[in-house]
Amino acid sequence: MTNVAVIGAGLIGRAWAIVFARAGFQVALWDQFPQQVAAAIGFIADRLPELRAAGLLADEPDTVRARIKPAQTIWDAVHTADYIQENAPERVDVKRPLFTELERAARPDAVIGSSSSGIPASAFTEHLKTRNRCLIAHPVNPPYLVPLVEICPAPWTDAAAVERAGDLMRKAGQVPATVKKEIDGFALNRLQGALLAEAFRLLADDVISPADLDALVKHGLGLRWAFMGPLETIDLNAPGGLADYCNRYGPLYAKMQDQMKPLEWDAALVGRLQEARRAELPANLQPVRQEWRDRRLMALVAHKATQPD
């Protein structure tokens, strides 16, 4: 039996609890604020029947829910854990002392992963005696619906810890992608950042409306990207494959990249885009739309599960 500790019961922590419990692991869930754990348990209880109805839960919801146990202290959560997933706020001054506590309470052979979205593990683990078992395990929100998880070691992380984390993620039904060395934002957010940077440039120059820009992705690029990556996409978009595509369109992309100068996301631009979003989706309807998003993801994941990769 695999024991996992989930540290932090916010949006990401509670989602990780579903991932691990769904896979049959025993999950200890801890947060410094007990009310967060109670809220997380309620959220999980609501989501599990939906996952079962979508065909994304092999066991009965009550069986999966029973695998998740609230922990009263960090020690209670981690002292028997084979793997620990930390989900504290994205701040070095929070993660550094928390990892000190985790090292003190955890078994010496337990791998400790962080859900950090952009802070590298070296920024908050350098002082640890057992820093060689610490790494980044960055999910995509929500991880119980989007399986990709980036595994990124610090310079001192043992290769065995990276391998163990990847194996555990695969057993949990996730798709690990190893980022070989530390870089700001890792790989996934750098790809997303490149798209957002150009999107904001197009909007700042009034080339396209916010609604039409979103349409480009959700009715265009996103349809292909739901089952292919960018390299496979261009490989299939020219008769001679990737090299042929690069020969045909390389000069155009070079010209476009030369035009893609850095752009500051200033208050005026952000305010204009915020106003456009709120006109399309009033703030009080955001939770409703988030539930809609999750149900659409459930349907997409269920469909992909029936198709060959």
> Mind listing the pLDDT tens digit for each residue in 190-222?
999 999 999 999 999 999 999 999 999 999 999
CA–chain centroid gap for 276, Å, is 26
Instruction: Give 73-141 as a DSSP string.
Output: SHHHHHTT-SEEEE---S-HHHHHHHHHHHHHHS-TT-EEEE--SS--THHHHTT-TTGGGEEEEEEPS
Q: Indicate if the pLDDT at residue 1 is higher than 90.
A: no
β-pairing, 148-153 vs 134-139, is antiparallel
CATH architecture assignment, domain 3-178: 3-Layer(aba) Sandwich (3.40)
Q: Indicate if the pLDDT at residue 27 is higher than 90.
A: yes
β-pairing, 68-70 vs 175-178, is unpaired
Which pLDDT score is estimated for 309? Answer: 79
Q: Dump pLDDT digits (tens) for 235-253.
A: 999 999 999 999 999 999 9
The model's confidence at residue 36, banded by pLDDT at 50, 70 and 90, is very high
Percent of the chain with pLDDT over 70: 100
Superfamily of domain 190-305: N-(1-d-carboxylethyl)-l-norvaline Dehydrogenase; domain 2 (1.10.1040.10)
**What integer is the mean pLDDT of 115-123?**
96
CA dist 220 and 214 (Å) reads: 9
Instruction: Spell out the domain ranges in the chain.
Output: 3-178, 190-305
Q: Dump pLDDT digits (tens) for 146-188.
A: 999 999 999 999 999 999 999 999 999 999 999 999 999 999 9
